[in-house]
Amino acid sequence: MGEVHRGKGGPGRDACRTPRARGDRSRASANGAGLAAAFLMAIAGTHGAAAEGGDPGKGEKLYRSCKSCHEIGANARNGVGPHLDGLFGRAAGSLEGFKYSSAMKELGRNGLVWNEFTLDVYLEKPREFVPGTRMSFRGMRDRDDRLHVIAYLKALSVNAPAGPEAAPVLARAEMGAVAMQLDGDAAYGEYLSSECVTCHQMSGRADGIPSIVGWPKDSFIRALFEYKTNIRSHQVMQNMTVNLGNEEIAALAAYFGALDPQ
């Protein structure tokens, strides 16, 4: 997942850029997030209509790249990412029961609210707008694509956030079902994790290697089984999982799931 470095965006976009937004990863995340929020709030007033004109139909197809992590619509639940129901007007990092990075929570505390404009900036380059985010998504570089996906989010995101008791998971034959039934041993998971954290960051930062902390148990287990069985083909992760049994996978899910992102 290398970072593609590309030229500046289209004309007019760059006038709306803070210099900080480009590539200064070394900055402390909370500080960077605070600056980004201050910057956005300062200009959101004048650029409020920045993301109008998207086509929700096209957005639905583009939303496929979000679907593995986000649910949206009535009764949406948190998964690897927070649910996107009632997103418009919602403060960043504000859902109860979801383990956000501290960078995302800080943005929300500083007053950042999701709307067409803030989503446009975040979705272009999540890791630059929110240094320290644990969203493992490299961004959507094409402005029209972002407008379409935002139009789709707007159409689907009803203002009725789901309660924790909403929508029981439909019973279905599930890969990893046996491991999902186990009560994973977090201490054993910690022991096994030493190898994983040579690549994945314990802090939950998604800098090139995806974030794997704070995931719901079932999503984590499913992902490892998908590598193990090569449904997701990735040589490194296949090697990492091929010899892991149900106990090991459940233990890793318990350990990483309980870690708090920084």
262 lies in the binding site for ligand HEC (CB under 6 A): no
Query: What sections of the chain are H helices per DSSP?
Result: 29-44, 56-62, 64-67, 102-109, 116-124, 126-129, 143-156, 177-181, 186-196, 217-228, 235-241, 246-258
Residues 86/160, Cβ–Cβ less than 8 Å: yes
Contact positions with ligand HEC (CB under 6 A) in 209-228: 209-210, 212, 220, 223-224
Determine the 3-state secondary structure of 15 from DSSP.
Answer: helix
How near is the Cβ of 221 to ligand HEC at its closest, in Å?
A: 9
Residues 118/40, Cβ–Cβ less than 8 Å: yes
Residues 108/94, Cβ–Cβ less than 8 Å: yes
Q: Which residues contact 2 (CB under 8 A, 6 or more apart)?
A: 208
What number of chain residues touch ligand HEC (CB under 6 A)?
Answer: 45
Instruction: Find the distance separating the first CA and the last CA of the chain, reported in whole Å.
Output: 22
93 lies in the binding site for ligand HEC (CB under 6 A): yes
184 lies in the binding site for ligand HEC (CB under 6 A): no
In the shown chain, the binding pattern of residues 193 to 212 toward ligand HEC, with x for contact by CB under 6 A and - for none, equals --xx-xxx--------xx-x
180 lies in the binding site for ligand HEC (CB under 6 A): no
Which one among 70, 77, 125, 148 touches ligand HEC, defined by CB under 6 A?
Answer: 70
236 lies in the binding site for ligand HEC (CB under 6 A): yes
66 lies in the binding site for ligand HEC (CB under 6 A): yes
Spatial separation of the C-alpha atoms in residues 260 and 262, rounded to whole Å = 6
Pick between residue 36 and residue 237 the one whose CB is nearest to ligand HEC: 237
Site of interaction with ligand HEC (CB under 6 A) = 65-66, 68-70, 80-82, 84, 87, 92-93, 95, 100-101, 103-104, 114, 119, 123, 130, 133-137, 140, 149, 195-196, 198-200, 209-210, 212, 220, 223-224, 232, 234, 236-237, 240, 252
